Structure 1
Amino acid sequence: MEGWMVIALRSIGAVAILFTMTRILGKKQISQLTTFEYITGIALGELAGFLSTDIEAHYMHGIVAIAVWFTIPFGLELLTLKSKRLREWFEGKATVVVKDGKILEDNLKKERFTGDELMESLRTKNVFRVADVEFAMLETSGALSVLLKNNHQPLTPAHLGIDVSPEKEPQTVIIDGNIMDEPLSTIGFSREWLSTELEKIGVTYENVFIAQVDAYGQLYVDLFDDQLQVPAPQTRALLLSTLKKCEADLELFGMATDNVTAKLMYEDCATRMKRVIETTTPLLKR
């Protein structure tokens, strides 16, 4: 067999083995790595390279070496799931680097983390003043976790005492001009509904790059042709307008009737509708 064919076949085998082992080791192996995971990744990559190109080496010897480097981290992961002490030994411990707006220089030196690196990590979190930080911790992965002081945290509905409904994730119903039936059924709609909504804005699904439906049933589309303008969804705005019209009609019926019982009924219904509008307006306007 030709040498290049041998290398190609060995490389395909090495890729298949690495892919399988990485899937078994889990997402941690391809995310922000701990020290041990970093070493394991380098070793597996080097072994796969030698296994692919070193024709004179015995193929099974390379597989055995890769299997050893796979078994050790896999076994340690199972052990560290049950032992906090082992986790700290192999993965390390997080280190506090900022507390009450003060930088802990000794902890920075211990982790060999410079002031410039600290400021850079803070800027990636959109924090430009150390004095605004209540607490910052350098994680074992090297990422910096930051807690801002209360008066510098973003304002949320909870701060204002406003209750909001749970937000469901939007469903992507068209990708590259192809309709995705599973997301459509997940959100409770059909192809006919989607076609009707696309007709309203004057586009066909073949011209849509991405289309998403949010929890309120509003359709957002991005077209292949960015020069075309698509009207913004108006479902929530129309619903709010309909509710206000209902309130106005109830008040009008109450003023128009001479029947005392009917007048009281319409006024009560109008009052209830007003409360509904006040409750739903923050949801329908956001």
Structure 2
Amino acid sequence: MSQWIEVIIRSFTLLIILFLLTKWLGKKQFSQLSLFEYVIGITIGSIAAEISTGLESNYYVGVMGLIVWTAIPFFVNLATMKNKKFRDFIEGKASVIIKDGKIQEENLAKEKYTVDDLMELLRKKDAYRVADVEFAILEANGDLNVLLKKEKQPLTPKQLGITVAAEKEPQTVIMEGEIMDEPLAESGYNRQWLEAELEKLNVTVDNVFIGQVDHFGELTVDIYDDQIQVPTPQTRPLLLAVLKKTQADLELFSLQTEVPEAKQMYKKNAEKLAAITDKVMHLLKA
């Protein structure tokens, strides 16, 4: 057998073996690596490369070494799940970097981070001033979690006393000019509705790179031709305008009628509609 053919066969076989072994280890192996897992990953990759191209070495002995090095983190992970001290030793512990708005210089130096490193991590969390941070903790995997001071945190609907309905994820109903029937059905619509919405936007399916339907049933599209301006969906603003017009009409009827009962009815319903409009205003604004 020619050497290049053997290299191809070995490489392809090892690719399959590595894929299966990585699936066995779980998603953590390629998402958030600890120092131990990082070392294991480098070693496994080196062994695989050596087996693939080292034609003078024994193939089966190399595969056995690969399996052994994969089994090590698997059983270590089992042990870390049952023993916290062992887990802290292998994966490391979180460190408090900022407390009460003050940088903990000793912990920063202990983790081998500079002030520039810290500021870069803070900027990734949209925190540009240390003084705005109440608490920041450096996780074992290197992520920095930040808690801003109360006065610097964005307002939430709950703090404003607004009840907000749960939102569903947007469904991608058009992808690269093709209608995706399953997501379209998941969003509660059909092709006839989609074609009607595209007609309102004066866009054809073929020219749509991606189209999504949000929780409110609005279709937004990104088209291939970036020079063409696609109109903004007007469903919610139109609904808001109708509510305001209806409220104004009720108030007008209340002023025009001479019947006390009707005047009171129009006025009462106008006030109810105004209260409803105030509650849904943030949802209907474009």
TM-score exceeds 0.5: yes
The match for 2:163 is 163
CA separation in 2, counterparts of 1:48 and 1:211?
42
Q: Secondary structure of 1:81's match?
A: helix
Cα deviations across residues 22-64 of structure 1 (Å, max 9, x unaligned)?
Answer: 2232222222311111011101111111121112222222221
Determine whether 1:227 maps to 2:227: yes
The match for 1:185 is 185
Q: Secondary structure of 1:231's match?
A: coil
The match for 2:99 is 99
Q: Secondary structure of 2:82's match?
A: coil
CA separation in 2, counterparts of 1:258 and 1:104?
74
**Unaligned runs of at least 5 residues, structure 1:** none
1:206-245 counterparts in 2 under 5 A? 206-245=206-245
Normalised by the length of structure 1, the TM-score is 0.92
CA separation in 2, counterparts of 1:185 and 1:158?
32
CA separation in 1, counterparts of 2:266 and 2:159?
36
Determine whether 1:17 maps to 2:17: yes
Determine whether 1:147 maps to 2:144: no
CA separation in 2, counterparts of 1:185 and 1:68?
48
CA separation in 1, counterparts of 2:67 and 2:205?
48
CA separation in 2, counterparts of 1:262 and 1:212?
46
Determine whether 1:130 maps to 2:130: yes
The match for 1:65 is 65
CA separation in 2, counterparts of 1:80 and 1:241?
59
Change (3 A) 1:211 1:4: same
The match for 2:35 is 35
Q: CA deviation at 1:262?
A: 4.6
Q: CA deviation at 1:156?
A: 3.0
Change (3 A) 1:247 1:128: closer
Change (3 A) 1:272 1:113: same
Q: Secondary structure of 2:135's match?
A: strand
Identity of aligned residues (%): 53
The match for 2:172 is 172
Computed over aligned residues only, the root mean square deviation of the Cα atoms, in angstroms, reads 2.0
**Unaligned runs of at least 5 residues, structure 2:** none
Change (3 A) 1:265 1:155: closer
Q: CA deviation at 1:200?
A: 0.9
Cα deviations across residues 180-200 of structure 1 (Å, max 9, x unaligned)?
Answer: 112111111111111110111
CA separation in 1, counterparts of 2:260 and 2:109?
82
Cα deviations across residues 66-100 of structure 1 (Å, max 9, x unaligned)?
Answer: 11121121222233223322221210100111111
Decide which moves more: 87-96 or 114-123. 114-123
Q: Secondary structure of 1:222's match?
A: strand
Q: CA deviation at 1:125?
A: 2.4
CA separation in 2, counterparts of 1:278 and 1:120?
41
Residue identity in the other structure for 1:233:
P
Q: Does the 8 Å contact 2:162/2:279 carry over to 1? A: no
Determine whether 1:6 maps to 2:2: no
Normalised by the length of structure 2, the TM-score is 0.92
CA separation in 1, counterparts of 2:143 and 2:99?
17
Q: Does the 8 Å contact 2:136/2:145 carry over to 1? A: yes
Change (3 A) 1:72 1:241: same
Change (3 A) 1:109 1:256: closer
The match for 2:81 is 81
Change (3 A) 1:24 1:246: farther
CA separation in 2, counterparts of 1:256 and 1:24?
77
